[in-house]
């Protein structure tokens, strides 16, 4: 999903930490215009799931933002 700041947000079912319970991530385009065919976006892991009670496998969950822009 695209956030209020224009970044792309998503989740993964695997990865993140030793137990691979998934993550919530943010992708931002390069800060300057990219003229190449392949431009790398900047990735930030916002949350790494650790299993119960924190949760796991968030791939089938839709992210939403509240009125102030928090996930």
Question: How does DSSP assign 21-41, residue by residue?
Answer: --EEEEEE--SS---SSS-PP
In a domain, 65, yes or no: no
Residue 31 has pLDDT above 90, yes or no: no
- Name the residue range of residue 29's domain: 8-60
- Give the tokens for residue 34: 């990219």
Assigned domain for 26 exists:
yes
* pLDDT tier for residue 39 given thresholds of 50, 70 and 90: confident
**Model's pTM, two decimal places?**
0.78
Q: For position 27, what pLDDT does the model report?
A: 94
Tally of structural domains, the chain? 1
Neighbours of 11 (CB within 10 A): 20
Q: How is residue 51 written in tokens?
A: 């299993």
Please state the φ and ψ torsions of residue 43, each to the nearest 5 degrees: -105, 135
In a domain, 13, yes or no: yes
Sign of CA dihedral 70, 44, 20, 3: positive
In a domain, 68, yes or no: no
Whether residue 44 is predicted with pLDDT greater than 90 in this model: the reply is yes
Question: Residue 42 domain-assigned?
Answer: yes
């Amino acid at each position: 999903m695209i956030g209020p700041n224009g970044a792309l947000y998503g989740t993964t079912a695997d990865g993140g930490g030793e137990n691979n319970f998934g993550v919530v991530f943010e992708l931002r385009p390069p800060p300057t215009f990219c003229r190449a065919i392949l431009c790398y976006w900047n990735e930030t892991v916002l949350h790494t799931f650790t299993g119960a009670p924190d949760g796991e496998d968030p791939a089938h969950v839709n992210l939403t933002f509240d009125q102030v822009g928090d996930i």
